[in-house]
Amino acid sequence: MTDKKNRKPVPDKSLHPDECITMNTHNVATFDFSNLVDAIRQVYEKCAAQASKAVNINLTLRNWVIGCYIYEYEQKGADRASYGQNLLPRLSVRLRETAAIKYHFRELGRCREFYLAYPEIGGTLPPQFVKLISSEIKQSIFGGMGS
C-alpha cells in the first residue's frame, strides 16, 4: 500500500484476527470494539484492493486481445483493403451500434499499439482469455506452441 499524496510505502498496520479479541479479568474472551472496527475495515480494504487488481489485470488482458484482433484483421482480413485508414473509426461506430461497446477509435488504436508493444503477453494469457481468441488468430499468436 502507498500513501497517495507522497507515493511512499505505508507500513502495514494490519491486525491479526486474534488482536481484536482481548481477555477480561475473568479470563473470558471479549471483543474490543475499536479493534473489531479496524479488523473489518482492513478486511474490506484488502479485498477491495485485490478486486481492483483483478479488474485491472482483466482490463489489461482484454485490451491486449482487442488489439490482437485489430492487428490480425489489418494483416489478414478479407475486406481489409476496403476499410483502409477508416478502420478504427468505422469499427468504433459499429461496436457502438451493434454491441453497445463505447470504444472511441483512439482507444481502439491504443489497444492495437499495446498489442504490438507487448506481444509477449500472449504467452501469459489465462485459459479464459485464450478461449476468447479464434483458432486462426491463436495460430498466428502462438505459432507452433500448441495453445
Is 131 within the bounds of a domain?
yes
Is 3 within the bounds of a domain?
no
What is the number of domains present in the chain?
A: 1
Is 74 within the bounds of a domain?
yes
Is 86 within the bounds of a domain?
yes
Measured over the CA atoms of residue 130, residue 136, residue 141 and residue 145, the dihedral's sign is positive
Cα separations in angstroms, 136 against 68, 99, 114, 132, 139:
12, 23, 20, 12, 5
Is 107 within the bounds of a domain?
yes
Question: Whole domain around residue 119: which residue ranges?
Answer: 58-142
Is 64 within the bounds of a domain?
yes
Is 117 within the bounds of a domain?
yes
Q: What are the tens digits of pLDDT across the range 13-57?
A: 555 555 555 555 665 556 678 888 888 899 999 999 999 999 999
Whole-structure pTM value: 0.67
How many residues belong to the chain?
147
